[in-house]
Amino acid sequence: MQINPPFGYTDVVPLRKTHRVRLMRAGEAPPFSRALNAIPISYTEFAPAARDYPVVFTSGDGGKTYAPVAVLGMSQGENLFSAQDAWAQDVYVPAYARRYPFCMARVRMQDVERQERLICVEKAYIDEAGGEPLFDGKGEPLAKWRDLQRLLVEYEADLERGRELCAILADYALLQPFNMQATLNQGGQMQLTGMHRVDETKIEHLNSSQFKNLAKKGILGRIYAHLLSLENFARLLRRRAGRAPA
């Protein structure tokens, strides 16, 4: 059995009912996210994420597929919403970070990928001495695990809806590449590349069936949440200026 963990995870193993796990503290930022300038978001996260972050689309395969992400920093390895090991207060924490150290991983059996996902945990977070049990002595899930399992299952389904959203935007040719350029107060310029956004001018050229499909699937509202969120690049620059040495 070959397990393919999601981005950011190091060494995951299938979760067992006997495992005791060190759970994340409230507001704790996963290690991988502390030097991450963008993090995936899912379908239902567009609205809450758009309040705090720029929401853009990226492609890792040359435009064959796209994924929505929340931009966390203006340069590689920069998360302006993480300090030490904590996420910034009073901002939305994406589910990709909240589910850690658990995940739903892809599994290959004899070089064939199975359709179902396997619930796994980061091996380094298994702590038989100081970790917390997730199941009782009879193997029944405790309340804390029921909540975590619900997050994992619902998030995985929501990611699929996000992939469908991106596929429709690409099929309708609504995505266009763009760069973010800024002149820093401390001097010098900064450029953020590899992003895509919806070209609002193309929406009016959709046929009635396409426009109705965007509205029916709830994509239209997410398009405008994404477009409004681009104003948050200015907030990112202010956060960065606030961290810059005097």
Residue 244: pLDDT band by 50, 70, 90 thresholds?
A: low
Which position has the token pair 């953020």?
A: 192
Lowest-confidence pick of 53-62, 183-192, 221-230, 232-241 = 183-192
What's the pLDDT tens digit per position in 186-200? 555 666 788 999 999
Look at residue 189 in the predicted model and tell me its pLDDT.
61
**How high is the mean pLDDT of the chain?**
90
pTM here?
Answer: 0.89
pLDDT surpasses 60 at 185: no
Residue 75: pLDDT band by 50, 70, 90 thresholds?
A: confident
Locate 133 and state its tokens.
Answer: 């049990």
Which position has the token pair 């190091």?
A: 10
Q: State the average pLDDT over residues 133-143.
A: 94
What's the pLDDT tens digit per position in 39-69? 999 999 999 999 999 999 999 888 899 999 9
Look at residue 246 in the predicted model and tell me its pLDDT.
37
pLDDT surpasses 60 at 138: yes
Number of H helices, E strands in the chain: 7, 14
Contact predicate 43/158, CB 8 Å: yes
**Integer distance in angstroms from the first to the last C-alpha of the chain?**
53
Closest CA to 160 of 79, 40, 55, 54: 40
What residues have CB less than 8 Å from 34, skipping those under 6 apart? 79, 82, 85
Beta pairing partners, 103: 120
Which position has the token pair 């405790």?
A: 142
Q: Who wins on pLDDT, 27 or 243? A: 27
> Cα–Cα distance between 144 and 100 in angstroms, integer?
14
**Measured CA distances, 213 to 205, 217, 222 (Å):** 14, 6, 13
pLDDT surpasses 90 at 227: yes
